[in-house]
Amino acid sequence: AQSVTQLDSHVSVSEGTPVLLRCNYSSSYSPSLFWYVQHPNKGLQLLLKYTSAATLVKGINGFEAEFKKSETSFHLTKPSAHMSDAAEYFCVVSDFGNEKLTFGTGTRLTIIP
Amino acid sequence: GAGVSQTPSNKVTEKGKYVELRCDPISGHTALYWYRQSLGQGPEFLIYFQGTGAADDSGLPNDRFFAVRPEGSVSTLKIQRTERGDSAVYLCASSSRGGSDTQYFGPGTRLTVL
């Protein structure tokens, strides 16, 4: 069975400081892992995805995530937060060969000016 | 190019009524997915189509929910005898061929059952 746990429901950072959004996963097989972002009144947008290639994955808008199998983690980071990063972020897992995505409960990121 | 579109954007109905929600996937995408997002939660999988056939409907909560994709493009999610607990945002996504291909999401239909 596949599942994800997002360890923080809310994260607040000051503009220009680093962002860390934490995610742990559970998967029976070789997982694919994703981060999606949801801005208010907009659709879900893929930030980045891991599918068993390089463990450090770079995404859009300066975000990146590192797949750590030993820790079953896939944390999302960004070196310097921007006001436009304020949104809801979802960590997502999909078992190999399984079409459906399993979403975490989301982390709301607030950027303090 | 055009993304995934969903209509209507908002639907308000009364308990017990029947509703249909429509999804237009990205042109040429063979895989189509429906998810449901309740307030404060992440989206939950409902059903997956590959072409015209429902390849996995394990997420449909009960037999009041049904979805079709008769020509392998547009899909309709149908909910009979709506209940207040059906209120949520219904999301549609499509991908090029399924598998590990990226799923692209539409803006969703917000369903409110009074």
Q: What is the pLDDT of residues B24-37, one digit of tens each?
A: 999 999 999 999 99
CA distance A93 to A95: 7
Q: Which residues, other chains included, contact B60 with Cβ-Cβ below 8 Å and sequence gap of 6+?
A: B46, B47, B66, B67
Residue B42 at interface with chain A, using a CB cutoff of 8 Å? yes
* Closest residue of chain A to B58, computed from CA coordinates: A100
Residues of chain B with pLDDT under 50: none
Residue located via tokens 């995610």: A23
CA distance B92 to B43: 10
Pairing of strands B10-13, B109-113: parallel
Q: What is the pLDDT along chain A (113 residues), one digit of tens a residue?
A: 789 999 999 999 999 999 999 999 998 777 889 999 999 878 899 999 998 778 899 999 999 999 998 999 999 999 999 999 999 999 999 877 777 899 999 999 999 99
Residue B99 at interface with chain A, using a CB cutoff of 8 Å? yes
CB contact under 8 A, A106 and B106: no
Position A51 scores a pLDDT of 82
Alpha helices in chain B (DSSP H): none
In three-state secondary structure terms, A69 is coil
Q: Which residue of A48, A93, A99, A108 is the best one to mutate when testing the B interface, meaning the one whose CB has the most B CBs within 10 A?
A: A99
Position B101 scores a pLDDT of 86
Q: What is the pLDDT of residues A35-67, one digit of tens each?
A: 999 998 788 999 999 987 788 999 999 999 999
